Amino acid sequence: MTPLERLLAEHEIGRLVTRFALLNDAGDWAAVAATFTSEGRFVRPSGGDAVVGRDAIRVSLESRPPRKSCHLITNVLVDLASADAGDARCSMLLYTAPPGQAAASVPALIGGFRDKVVRTPEGWRFAERVGFLDLKVGPE
């Protein structure tokens, strides 16, 4: 892999991480699920069992109560193992609120994701995305 190919792959993976957050905030659950491989594995930052497969991920996301959210993603670090696979990490600040409620009344959550990514014919996708929370900040 040339340095330019590495740089392009890292950029595309960074865009995947950002796309996930923006689609999640938009509530586009089918598009969020499409950021995973067909057998991708997802563990939400709030915990719980892994959800496996695009269809199951979509159904799981659709089953959540409606909410407003804003994921702020930073500190994205990509480590490529090859031209077609690697790991990524990022930090996240998440604001959520039920529809019609002021977000300031809900604690902000600080955490992130640890990812396994692979290049597919569709582009880079999450083979595994494991979220975690470190802190709650603000009013309960």
List domains and CATH numbers for the chain.
Answer: 3-137 (3.10.450.50)
Mean of the per-residue pLDDT values for the chain?
93
What are the tens digits of pLDDT across the range 78-104? 999 999 999 999 999 998 887 877 666
Q: What is the percentage of the chain residues whose pLDDT exceeds 90?
A: 78
What are the tens digits of pLDDT across the range 2-20? 999 999 999 999 999 999 9
pTM for this entry = 0.92
Report the C-alpha gap between 137 and 23 in whole angstroms: 24
What are the tens digits of pLDDT across the range 53-75? 999 999 999 998 888 899 999 99
Average pLDDT of the residues in 41-60: 95
Average pLDDT of the residues in 92-119: 86
Average pLDDT of the residues in 46-56: 94
| Cβ atoms 111, 45 nearer than 8 A | yes
Among 80, 62, 71, which residue's Cα sits nearest to residue 131?
Answer: 71
